[in-house]
Amino acid sequence: MPLTLSDGERPICEFIIGFVLQRSKNIGMAARRISLVNFKGGVGKTSITVNLAASLARELDQKVLVVDMDAQSNTSIWLMGVARWNNLNGMAEKSVWGLFHPESTGLKQCIEEEVLLNEHGVERIPKLDLIPSVYKLMDLEHEYQDDDATPYFAKFRMQLEILFDQYQYILFDCPPNVFRATKCALFCSEEVYVPANPDLLSVQSRREVVLGTTMCQNHKTYGTSITRVRPHDGGSASGDPI
Ligand SMILES: Nc1ncnc2c1ncn2[C@@H]1O[C@H](COP(=O)(O)OP(=O)(O)OP(=O)(O)O)[C@@H](O)[C@H]1O
Ligand SMILES: [Mg+2]
Atom 12 in ligand 1: residue holding the nearest Cα: 235
Q: Which atom of ligand 1 is nearest to the CA of 49?
A: 18
Domains of the chain: 28-226 (3.40.50.300)
Residue 96 backbone zone (phi > 0: left; psi -120 to 50: alpha; other: beta): alpha
Percent share of the chain, pLDDT over 90 = 29
Q: Is 227 in the pocket of ligand 1 (CB under 6 A)?
A: yes
Query: Region 5-18: what's the mean pLDDT?
Result: 54
pLDDT digits (tens, 9 = 90+) for 69-91: 999 999 999 999 888 899 999 89
Average pLDDT over the chain, rounded to whole? Answer: 78
Q: For 161-210, write each residue's pLDDT tens digit.
A: 999 999 999 999 999 988 889 989 998 998 888 887 777 776 666 655 56
* Band of residue 218 on the pLDDT scale cut at 50, 70, 90: low
Best mutation site among 35, 36, 46 for ligand 1, i.e. most ligand atoms within 8 A of its Cβ?
A: 46
Q: How far is CA 51 from CA 9, 48, 57, 135, 174, in A?
A: 36, 5, 10, 23, 15
Backbone angles phi, psi at 191, to 5 degrees: -130, 145
Cα 221–226–228 angle (5° rounding)? 155
Mean pLDDT value of segment 126-140:
94
Does an H or E element contain 50, and which? helix 45-54
Cα separation of the two ends of the chain: 25
Q: What is the pLDDT confidence band of residue 232, given thresholds at 50, 70 and 90?
A: low
